[in-house]
Structures are given as C-alpha cells and as structure tokens.
Amino acid sequence: MQPAWIHRIKKGDVLRMPSGRLRVVRYVNHSVTSKGVAHPVPRTTVIFSIAHCSWTSRCYTTYTGNDLVQMGYRPTKARVRLRSKLDRQIEEEFMRRGPASLCKLHCCDVIGIE
C-alpha cells in the first residue's frame, strides 16, 4: 500500500531524496488499472529531469509511485512553476515519445537542472 501523498503529487511539486537532494516533478499521471482486476489499482507515474547521463541519452527519467516509496522519496511543501524555455523544451521531449535518435535535448543539456 502506497502512502496517500503519492496520489496527491502534482506537476511542479518538489520531492526530497534520502540524500537531501530535491527533485522537481515535471509531469505526473495518476491512473487506475482495472483491466481484469476485481479491485482497481491506482498507479502513479512521475517524470523528473535526469540527474545524470544514462545509456538512453534522454533528458528525463520516469518513476512509478512504488519506485518513489522504495527509493525513499518524501514530499516537501515546496512547488515550482515550470515556465522557462528549458522547462518547455524538456516537456516537449517526454511528450514526443519517439525514439531517442529524434531527441533534440539530451541528458548532458539538463545536468544540474532540478
């Protein structure tokens, strides 16, 4: 069972990692998986800008609510408005959903961006 805060996450929320590092939620999807299940299961998916380069070269990373709990993330009361040009470019990348070869923004472009 996930903590209640997982289901209240919104775009722009700031979450704290166990190390103390803060991460800004750039996208969140709360859905319910009920296909063939007697009791629907809520599912949360969260996107952050990537913390370090990876083999995918993408500028973002995706976690589920279960990942956040397992990794020890905690909510803060802070929120960020994602209105800059770079914020919009990052959002375009994860909304594009194409192959990594079509990415215009890569992991190296967002290192250090929360």
Q: What is the pLDDT of residue 99?
A: 78
Q: Is the pLDDT of residue 35 over 70?
A: no
Whether the model clears a pTM of 0.85, i.e. scores above it, the answer is yes
Going by pLDDT thresholds of 50, 70 and 90, the confidence category of residue 98 is: confident
pLDDT digits (tens, 9 = 90+) for 46-96: 999 988 888 888 899 999 999 999 999 999 999 999 999 999 999 999 888
If one compares 93 and 98, the residue with the highest pLDDT of the two is 93
3-state per-residue secondary structure call for the chain? CCCHHHHHCCCCEEEECCCCCEEECCEEEEEEECCCCCCCEEEEEEEEECCCCCCCCCCEEEEEHHHHHHHCCEEEEEECCCCCHHHHHHHHHHHHCCCHHHCCCCHHHCCCCC
Q: What is the pLDDT of residue 49?
A: 93
Q: What is the pLDDT of residue 41?
A: 73
| Average pLDDT of the chain, as a whole number | 89
Q: Is the pLDDT of residue 105 over 80?
A: yes
Q: What is the pLDDT of residue 34?
A: 64
